[in-house]
């Protein structure tokens, strides 16, 4: 199995997220780093897009999913994104790091979630 990874870094996604209803009412921006580990090694791909992850499509799908409904927790959004990417049979594992600027005197609050497809170890 491959350990080769694709990274989508600093993806800015519009979201409605936060515990207070007033916070969810306004659109905010969450930054995402998405790391996808593929089942197929890069050197086995034969230069075919069908063997890998389409970066633009993946970024667009993540952005659409993030904007699709209000959520209270970053943790919920991370789980939704991880679950989405693991539906692709070419994906062996996925890690999502989400950053939200919310607390004063900090750069951001962040959550990270990593999951592997069952039976891939």
What's the farthest any 2 CA atoms get from each other in the chain?
A: 50
Inter-residue contact 27 to 56 (CB < 8 Å): no
Q: Annotated catalytic, 44?
A: no
Residues 6+ apart with CB under 8 A from 25: 16
Which of 100, 101, 116, 120 is catalytic? The answer is 100
* Residues labelled as active-site residues: 100
């Amino acid at each position: 199995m491959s350990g080769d990874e694709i990274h989508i870094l600093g993806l800015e996604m519009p979201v409605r997220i936060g515990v207070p209803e007033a916070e969810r009412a306004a659109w905010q921006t969450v930054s995402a780093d998405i790391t996808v580990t593929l089942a197929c090694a890069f050197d086995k791909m034969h230069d075919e897009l069908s063997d890998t992850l389409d970066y633009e499509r993946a970024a667009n799908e993540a952005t659409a999913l993030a904007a699709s409904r209000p959520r209270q927790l970053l943790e919920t959004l991370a789980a939704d994104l991880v679950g989405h990417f693991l539906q692709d049979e070419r994906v062996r594992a996925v890690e999502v790091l989400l950053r939200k600027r919310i607390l004063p005197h900090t750069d951001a609050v962040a959550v990270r979630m990593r999951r592997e497809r069952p039976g891939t170890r």
